[in-house]
Structure 1
């Protein structure tokens, strides 16, 4: 594992697998250029990466007066939002009960509560922003269901829910952050159509439901970036940053194949690719390739799609599943990702892997069979066109301590990366927190943003072993 963790990190590849979410590219942000004469002027803020973190940072900077915010430029190596954000399932799901006990033990009650509250607030804030700005991105709030096939994890689930109930005592918590409902196997099978088994034929032990949601993440981010461009953001797609150099006068020189940009400060919103530009993050943020499939729904499934989103939790891993909502293109399609630990090498070759131009055949085989396995008789027959509509890969960023790196690295070099495949639940408000530190905005950011998420030299130099369970 250590050898995979320390593999050199490469830049985004030019011809990735086609993401289901990018089949209809944004018509306005496909290939953005700008007046070359302006490039002679120093940029105040250069953002690298156009995913949800970069979009959040850009939006929050641009809310300041023009005289204060200065010139803001965003570089994207490939077409807009072509990294992890444009490739994940769009699951706005905290699953805070799974990490809360560990955070409680290692960080203490106050910090554990702060992390769970951030996840919940981030979900709400993401959907609220989409609604307020009328972004057409399939934004919806709904209950999610974790179907659990491992008795040990079922007991841990029940214990965690009780612990959260004891810790969250503010008015409204019972209807929000710890609104968990435990279901017996019989109840869950009947209510949620999960009539099958776990991946190894194991029976369902129980299920837990709670508030979550789903969103078309590519459309959400391109919607935000369209707003940012209107506010003055200069977006450059197909412009990969290849080197960052600190100049003698204290600025940053950022090289691309097209030209060199000079900026007062640089923000890395580069997630799994970060170490390619920032050597001190080598082995600190580790790329991990994930795989996703889009399934045409079986003939016995609800015609307009499932109401809930799902995770399927088994002994050494889990899969996540998002149905396309009614009234959308391909309504009822089931997006399911995971399968990392279903390979002969237990997913080892996906660690440190930045090649999203190809698929892992073992994971493909597993994911292809996952829907009839989990839904059993509720699935029915496959559609005449075939079960699989599309499959693709994407690169996530994992950290040794399990928390993202947000904040100041050194010399006006800033970061928001390493979101553990959990970006849809952390990135939007992490971008806001980063900007409050970046611009010294007076406020109470430390009262709501977890201390464990701020990057530090201590965190960046700590030793450890990557654990993504």
Structure 2
């Protein structure tokens, strides 16, 4: 696996698979604030996904003086944020015991509280600012097919319940979980007693389920909605403007820059923008512009599908919860999406499949090419939901099978060595900032990470954001950690 982290990271390809969420495209998809780039700026943000957009929002809300510029290689929100599964879900119990043992009980608690707060804040932001993005706070359920994962999950949930406050254990809180046995899970969540996939050869029997608070939305609509707010507040945006290099401006022995104050020059579209601050919000693509991140943030290609259940499906439209399906080698994730006025009723958006591959998904690490898809994963995902719900609940006849899949698409995530994001000022690189490496969990980490980063960028102290996990902050120690071993949160 470590060798996959040494594959040189490339720029985003110009012809990615069309994203399901980009239909229809936003009005600002190909927005440019002017014909040419400015010669200078106070802040240059590279990347227009949820991280870059929220950094811009926070800087503008803080009333920073000077010019804030955002550069995007593709259309607005053309990367991972505009291609994800639409889930605002933190399966915190799956990493809590490990964080508690290897970080500290206090740090583990900060992480689960931040993830929960990020979900709440995301839906609250959409509501407060009137962003139409299909925001839907709801419960989620993890359907578990591995006995060890189910037992470990129950133990971890008890740890969280024991560590949080009484108020946090109430319904909807960070410590609220419902544990369901096999028979209750079958009745309550319309799933089969065993995986009925024709592709999975091993017998996988349902063990039980965990229910907790989560939600779903169109991350694309949410992010372009915030971008539109930022443009009204003075953000300058250039889409289809790939940054090809970031160089330090020559400094004298004492660090002087000739009186200009600029520290960095950004090369993009045959132009150079000089700036005091650079923000890397490029996630899986980060190492292309910042070689120090090679092997520290590794691209990882994901695959998703949008499907319709059969006309005789036994579950409601829409399904009241989102789902994950956990098995020995990994998991899939799923949301129902209601389409008012459509004859399809609801779309089942399901992604994953890495753990089902013959190589364990190793081939998907280190690739930046989201113009193609892994055909083995594609074949599996096309019938994964049918396998989990079962033929009877799914309600599909042979005449409907070919019409089931409405769309499939890919996107590039960023996996880190230690499974945690990298946030802060990069060591040895003055005013060169980063918020990246979210390991496929960006929608439950990016909002609050951007809040913390923008606080540090304007000179705020670490003590004033004690709620932010110190383990998320970039450091020399983290940059020199062990070899890359793959996505840390894949195994149950």
- TM-score class, shorter: over 0.9
Judge conservation of contact 1:406–1:430 (CA < 8 Å) in 2. yes
- 1:34 Cα deviation (Å)? 2.6
What is aligned with 1:104? 100
Is 1:310 the counterpart of 2:310? The answer is no
Judge conservation of contact 2:182–2:193 (CA < 8 Å) in 1. no
Is 1:349 the counterpart of 2:351? The answer is no
Judge conservation of contact 1:12–1:77 (CA < 8 Å) in 2. yes
Judge conservation of contact 1:43–1:73 (CA < 8 Å) in 2. yes
**Secondary structure at 1:86 match in 2:** helix
Is 1:34 the counterpart of 2:33? The answer is yes
CA displacement, residues 406-462 of structure 1 (integer Å, 9 cap, x when unaligned): 000112110000000000000011000000011113685431000000001110111
**Secondary structure at 2:38 match in 1:** helix
CA displacement, residues 178-224 of structure 1 (integer Å, 9 cap, x when unaligned): 11001111111111111252344311000010000001000000000
Q: How do 1:47-446 and structure 2 match up within 5 A?
A: 47-65=45-63, 68-175=64-171, 176-195=173-192, 197-198=194-195, 199=200, 200-248=202-250, 249=257, 250-301=262-313, 302=315, 304-325=317-338, 327=340, 331-376=345-390, 377-381=392-396, 383=400, 386-409=403-426, 410-441=429-460, 444-446=463-465
**Secondary structure at 2:396 match in 1:** coil
**Secondary structure at 2:32 match in 1:** coil
Distance 1:35 1:362, change over 3 A: closer
Q: Bigger shift: 318-327 or 80-89? A: 318-327
Structure 1 stretches lacking a partner, 5+ long: none
Is 1:447 the counterpart of 2:444? The answer is no
What is aligned with 2:254? none
CA distance in 2, matches of 1:454, 1:417: 11
Query: How many residues matched?
Result: 465
Distance 1:38 1:194, change over 3 A: closer
- 1:298 Cα deviation (Å)? 2.0
CA distance in 2, matches of 1:286, 1:186: 41
CA distance in 2, matches of 1:7, 1:328: 46
- 1:257 Cα deviation (Å)? 2.3
CA distance in 2, matches of 1:231, 1:396: 29
CA distance in 2, matches of 1:226, 1:328: 27
Distance 1:13 1:455, change over 3 A: same
Judge conservation of contact 1:305–1:326 (CA < 8 Å) in 2. no
**Secondary structure at 1:448 match in 2:** coil
CA distance in 1, matches of 2:340, 2:376: 33
- 1:385 Cα deviation (Å)? 6.6
Judge conservation of contact 1:304–1:326 (CA < 8 Å) in 2. no
CA distance in 2, matches of 1:362, 1:38: 43
Distance 1:251 1:332, change over 3 A: same
CA distance in 1, matches of 2:37, 2:65: 16
Superposition RMSD in Å: 1.6
Structure 2 stretches lacking a partner, 5+ long: 251-256
- 1:23 Cα deviation (Å)? 1.6
- 1:293 Cα deviation (Å)? 0.6
CA distance in 2, matches of 1:341, 1:80: 31
